[in-house]
Amino acid sequence: MTPARLALWLAPALPLAPVLLALAACGGEASGASEGRKGPSAPLGFELAMAGVSEGAADDSAVPAPAAPAPLIALSPEELAARLEKGNVRLIDVRTTAEVAEGVIPGAEHIPLDQFDPTALDLSDGREVVLYCRSGRRSAMAGEKLAAVTGEPVEHLEGGMLAWEAAQQPVDKP
């Protein structure tokens, strides 16, 4: 039989292939074939699901849980203004140089996101770090990087500079 003819002959059975494989894997043996086995067979995919679990472990305690990133804390413009009044805040602007030229929150230091390296930040002065950008998206990205390094929650201005200006908070224009 030629390969093309064989393919035509087997084509009607192809949609049933997954069902047949599942039945075969789940113990579709003739009676008496499973007499040497104790208990029912494991369901299909059980081996993959249990990969990495030490032998004898009956629960997930043997599998290490993935480390969850430290959460971000979103601050409103009013909350940030109150913290800036109290002092002890290190405010970092992660916008581009062109955006910073349009105005900054008073007291902010500029570290563009593409140059933001949380491992290079000196955090020893004890000030709380608060990040901001234009809309809050880039400061959240920088915050996730910083949280991954410190293991601590990181604060950022929710809504960014747009929300700050909409709340009529002060802006230094160079």
Of the residues 72, 133, 154, 163, which is catalytic? 133
Burial category of 2 from C-beta neighbours within 10 Å (exposed 0-12, middle 13-18, buried 19 and up): exposed
* Cβ–Cβ under 8 Å, residues 94 and 108: no
Determine whether 26 is an active site residue.
no
User: Do 113 and 142 touch, CB atoms closer than 8 A?
Assistant: yes
Closest CA to 159 of 145, 169, 146: 169
- Nearest Cα to Cα of residue 86 among 134, 130, 147: 130
Q: Which residue in 96, 126, 84, 92 sits closest to 109, CA to CA?
A: 92
Catalytic residues: 133
